[in-house]
Every structure is written in structure tokens, then in C-alpha cells.
Structure 1
Amino acid sequence: MSRHPPPPQLSDAPLAPGLYVVATPIGNLRDITLRALDVLAAADLVLAEDTRVAGKLLHAFGLSKKLERYDEHAAERAGPKALAVLADGGRVALVSDAGTPLVSDPGFLLVREAIAQGSAVYPIPGASALLAGLSVAGLPTDRFLFAGFPPPKSAARRTFFEELAGIRATLVFFEGGSRVAASLADMAAVFGPREAVVARELTKLYETVTRGSLDDLAADPKMVAPKGEFVLMVGPGRVEAATAADADTALLDALARLRPAEAAAEVAKALGLPRRDLYRRAMALKAGDGE
């Protein structure tokens, strides 16, 4: 019995010239999209972070294409080739080893150069470890910051985390198994006992999602040099309620630029305070009765 799903029926619609940024599975091959297969089948050139990985993906779906390595080491050689194909009206597909290109993967310079020369650039959405992790974390997702891979050395890593500590959003990081425990320890030291989630091998056979405080996760023996790909997510810290003095300071700053109603709306959104009360206070400050 074949280990791979049978190739689906591909579309015979013509593919417009341009650069296609194609998301590929992060583990489970069945997460490939039909549109991604259409693009890969019709592309004149496929740029791949690792041609061996991309070759296995293409083979699994019965596709055989010209592959060119494109990563930080090969970009200087492969980039001009791809741009020439685009300039001649060709179709180029860009894939990373897994997930969506440009999310901690090569491709930014190629996309920018394609845009600069007037070539069309198309997103072909699909799997993303970043979004897959957030979807199961149970942490706030109305505002999040993806910070990529932390620095490898502890001192630089703590400085990196300190720069993010005041951000009122869920923080998302990628990390390798050999540094997960050290990164969690530094996170606990900088962020304190915030809620956090460690997602390992998402969509793969040994997928695990572990939730807890940063202190508990850092002390978990299962986090010592585990194998696999990891997404680390840290919830936003608790924010103290704004005081009346905070509101006045913010209103005075806003009133220097805006009318009272607009100032009240801006401060209400920033501090999470009732807009009606802030409007009354803004009118008082405007009239000079704020003392």
C-alpha cells in the first residue's frame, strides 16, 4: 500500500506569469492545498530551500519539475535566474522546507526584487506552524507578535526577551529542540510566571502541545533536549488598570492634537476606559476646569 495520497485531479486552467509564494505542509502531506499543486505542476521553475525536501514532496504527488536551490547561500546565484524567467513572462514557484515561505524562511529579497522589476507576486496560502500553534494554544490571539528564533547565547537571548517584555500581546517564537529548555529558563527569568505553551512537531506523528506557566515549563524534564520543531508561545503579562492620573495625562496629550470627542475615543481604546467618562473629563480639561 502506498504511503502517500494519490495525486488529485489538477486544474487545466492557465497559470498567469509571476512569482508564486507557495505554502507547503509542515508535517502531514495531506495538508497541501489543491491550488498549491496546480501552481507547482504549471510552474516553469520551482525554487526550494532544500531541493531534496521539495523533490520528495513533488514525487509524493506525481510531479516532476525543474528545481533550483534558493536559500541564503544560493540566493546570489539563483535569484537572477528566477528574475530572468519572470522578466520573460515565466511562472516561478517559491517553496520552503515546510510551511509558508518568508516566515523565518528565505524569500524576502526575491519578492522585493520581483516587485521592483514589475513582476506579479501571488500568495498561495496554506500550512503555517505559527498560525497552527496559535490556533491550539488557548492564549489571546486578538494581538500577537511573531519574533522568530531567539539568539543562541543566553545573554543575548535575555536582552532580546527584555525588549519584548512590555508588549501587550501574545509572543510567538520558533526554537530548535537543543535550546528549548534554555530558552524557557530565560523566558521565565525575564517574563515571570506568564502562561505559556510549547507546541512540538505540529501535524506530525508525535505532535504534542504542553501548557503551563513559564516556571513550570522551564522545570519540566521533558523539555531537556527533545527532538523536533517547536513553537513557543507566551501570553501577555497582566496589565494594571489605568489610574485617573494616567487618563488625564493621555487626554492632555490627545487634546493637543484632537477635538474632545476624538481624544476621548483614542484614550478609551488605549487604556480600556469608558469613552463617555473620558469625554466628560476631556471637556473639563479643555475648559480649564481639570484641577
Structure 2
Amino acid sequence: MQSIGTLWVVATPIGNLDDLSPRAQKILAEVDLIAAEDTRHSHALLARYNIATRSIALHEHNEREQCEKLVADLLAGKNIALISDAGTPLISDPGFRLVRSARAAGITVRPVPGACAAIAALSVAGLPSDRFVFEGFLPAKSSARIQRLRELGGETRTLIFYESSHRVRESLADMASVFGEQRPAVLARELTKLFETVLDATLADLMAKLDADANQQRGEFVLIIGGAEEEGVDGRLAEGRRVFAVLRTELPPSQAAKLAAAISGAPRKSLYAFQPDE
């Protein structure tokens, strides 16, 4: 009876090519096929380690179509490695449909751990790391971005976001508007690369740093935001949210938040950021 192949989910470097683990090198060299987010991008990494394994493209635009073929190959006994352009596949990168389809077909899926920009940034941020939330990329449009940030306004866990160079300044401004300018934050840029910087300050100060140095707005970013203070421990925030939800049905959000804060003693900004279920 023919054995079924294995799907290997292989983490690759987020910048410095020396970060590819020996185990990852071995797996990539031994599998029958590499499914890469962008074969052109991955070529430099594979060439660096003299890995000649054939690769095909698997990205957000063709993943549905490629899944059926790749699962068939795995069932036929081929071993396949899944890689993204940088870091751990599926973390704000393609691969979810393939992994889900492979598992549904009874195929073994095994991880080869390595770099992940979110975790790398968190490890050096100096913000609480025992409990955190990874949000990936925020919506591109400001209105949708602000809506999502408001939904996270009362989140007490550390928040982790990815952001691009052409939106990082606007995202920081929206975060300052929703979370408050004095919320502690860290901006990690170009991690493991030549121009790596990790800036920690309030949201207001981070915006000032970016405005003062245009170079700090270039590259790839991880934004880490300190969680909201746990003001609900004594029940004030929970009571304030309950009152706000009632008042919100009859009053504008700002007025409802002001009255709910006066009644409950909870912070007005936390109540205003709260989005009660409809």
C-alpha cells in the first residue's frame, strides 16, 4: 500500500537569511516540492543554501485552485513543504486552505518552527507578553480601521499589528485617537534587516519620531500597543458598559459615554471605545 506524504509548514527568515534553521534547510532539500508564496522571492533563500527542490507558487490568488492538486500529490505519496515570503506561513500569509484541506484528507501536517515577525517584535518590546492578541493588518480604509480599533478599545491584553510603510503614520494617528495619545507602544521596523529599529514611546511620541525622520516610515512594521488598564477589576468598567449600552440606544455615543462614566465611575474613553452588541 502506498504511503501518504507529509505536508511540512516551514518557517523562513523575516530578513536575515542566516536565520533559516538547519532542520528547515534539511526539510526543504529533501521534500519533493516546495509551495512558495512567491517563487521569485524565495529563489534567493533557496539558492543561498543550494536547495534545488522544485517550487511552485501558492498565494492568495491561486490557493483554492492549487489545493486540490497539492492534496492529490500528498495522497500519492509526495512530501511537500509550504513556505511564505518571510516568517511562519499562515500568519497573515497564505496557506490556511491548504493546511485545512490536507488535514481533512487525513494527511499529516508537521511544523518546522522558526521566525515570526510578531513574536520577534514582542520579545524585544518591553510590554507585557504573558497575554497578547495578534490582529494582523488593520483595514486599509480609515473608517473601517477606526471601527476595528474601537472594538479593541477595552482590550487589556497587549495588541500586535502588522502595518505597511504607506499606512503606518495614519494607523498610529487612528490608534492615538481611539486609545489615547499616552498609550504605551512599540514600533518595530525592518526586524533582522540592515536598518532594524525598535522605538518605544507613547503613541503621540511615536508619531513625532516618524514625523521627524522620514526613514522611520520606510520598510515593514510591527506595531505593539499596551493593553487597556484593567479598570474593570472592581466592577466599575463592567457597570459602565452596561449603562452605556442602555444609554447608547437613545443618545449619541459621546453623550452616552459621558453620562455612563458619571454614573459608574468608569473611564469615559474606555466606555466610548466600547461597542455594545446590537
Aligned residues: 233
Specify the alignment match of 2:135 in structure 1: 147
Are 1:163 and 2:151 counterparts? Answer: yes
- Equivalent residue letter for 2:123: S
- Equivalent residue letter for 2:27: V
- Equivalent residue letter for 1:63: I
Specify the alignment match of 1:250 in structure 2: none
Are 1:229 and 2:203 counterparts? Answer: no
- Equivalent residue letter for 1:238: E
Whole-Å separation in 1 of the counterparts to 2:68 and 2:236: 58
* TM-superposed deviation, 1:75: 1.2
Q: Is the Cα–Cα contact under 8 Å of residues 184 and 200 in structure 2 kept in the other structure?
A: yes
**Superposition map of 1:58-77 within 5 A:** 58-77=46-65
Whole-Å separation in 1 of the counterparts to 2:126 and 2:170: 23
Structure-2 change in CA distance of 1:176 and 1:169 (3 Å): same
* TM-superposed deviation, 1:240: 2.4
Specify the alignment match of 1:212 in structure 2: 201
Whole-Å separation in 1 of the counterparts to 2:95 and 2:237: 44
Secondary structure of 1:206's counterpart equals coil
* TM-superposed deviation, 1:243: 3.2
Are 1:103 and 2:86 counterparts? Answer: no
Whole-Å separation in 2 of the counterparts to 1:196 and 1:122: 34
Q: Is the Cα–Cα contact under 8 Å of residues 71 and 102 in structure 2 kept in the other structure?
A: yes
Q: Is the Cα–Cα contact under 8 Å of residues 158 and 225 in structure 2 kept in the other structure?
A: yes
Q: Any unmatched runs of 5+ in structure 1? A: 1-15, 248-291
Structure-2 change in CA distance of 1:245 and 1:72 (3 Å): closer
Specify the alignment match of 1:242 in structure 2: 233
Structure with bigger gyration radius: 1
Whole-Å separation in 1 of the counterparts to 2:214 and 2:187: 9
Structure-2 change in CA distance of 1:125 and 1:244 (3 Å): closer
Are 1:196 and 2:182 counterparts? Answer: no
Secondary structure of 1:209's counterpart equals strand
Normalising by structure 2, what TM-score? 0.80
Q: Is the Cα–Cα contact under 8 Å of residues 45 and 82 in structure 1 kept in the other structure?
A: no
Structure-2 change in CA distance of 1:186 and 1:46 (3 Å): same
Specify the alignment match of 2:76 in structure 1: 88
Deviations along 1:169-208, whole A, 9 cap, x unmatched?
0000000011110000000000112100000000000000
Give the alignment partner of residue 136 of structure 1, picking from 124, 131, 154: 124
* TM-superposed deviation, 1:223: 6.1
Specify the alignment match of 1:271 in structure 2: none
Normalising by structure 1, what TM-score? 0.76
Q: Single out whichever of 94-103 and 75-84 deviates more from structure 2.
A: 75-84
Identity of aligned residues (%): 51
Whole-Å separation in 2 of the counterparts to 1:152 and 1:178: 10
Secondary structure of 2:137's counterpart equals coil
Whole-Å separation in 2 of the counterparts to 1:235 and 1:210: 14
